[in-house]
Amino acid sequence: MAIVITACNLTPGSESEANKEVKKNGEQIFIENADECLAIIEKAARKLSITGAAMIAYIPGDVSESWISKMKAIGSFANKDANFLAIAYAKASEMAVTHEDSGNGERKDITGEFGWQGGVILKVESGYLVGAFSGGTGQQDADVSKEGLDWLSEKYK
C-alpha cells in the first residue's frame, strides 16, 4: 500500500510548509551555483568577443513576487553610450512579468519595458531561472544567457 502526501493551501494567501521548503531549496541551489553559472556566461561571452553585464536570478514558485539575483561585469558594465547592467535588468524585469524570453514581439511592451532581446527564462520545478546579458547583439546576448541557464537548470533536476 502506498501513502501519498500532498500539500495544499487551506487559507487564501497562506503557503504550505512543503511549498516553502521547495522554494528555500531552490534558492539554496541558486546560491551554491550562481558564481559558476556566471563564469559559464562569461566564458561564452569572451568566446564571442563581447563584453558587458550578465545577471541571473531565481524566482521561487509560479508567480513572480520576489527573486534573488547575482550580476557580473564582463569587461565593463557601462560605457559612455550604454549602461549594460540596467539593460540586463530591464530584460529580466520583462521576463518576470511575462515568464517568456525578453524581446518577445507577440505582446506590446508596457511602460518600463523596452522589448530588448537577450534574456532567457527557464521553468524549473521550484520556480524560474532568469538570465540576461547586455553588450552584444540581441541574439548573442540570448545565446550566452541560455548557455549559463542550461547549465544551471541541470542543478534543479
Q: Which CATH number do you get for residue 28? A: 3.30.450.150
129, part of any domain = yes
pTM: 0.86
**What confidence score (pLDDT) does residue 62 get?**
95
**What confidence score (pLDDT) does residue 10 get?**
38
8, part of any domain = no
7, part of any domain = no
11, part of any domain = no
Nearest C-alpha neighbor of 34 from the set 67, 3, 64? 67
1, part of any domain = no
Max intra-chain CA distance, the chain = 68
Give the total number of structural domains in the chain: 1
101, part of any domain = yes
72, part of any domain = yes
pLDDT in tens, the chain (157 residues): 343 333 334 344 556 776 777 677 999 999 999 999 999 999 999 999 999 999 999 999 999 999 999 999 999 999 999 999 999 999 999 999 999 999 987 778 787 788 899 999 999 999 999 999 999 999 999 999 999 999 999 999 9
Residue-number span of the structural domain to which 55 is assigned: 17-154
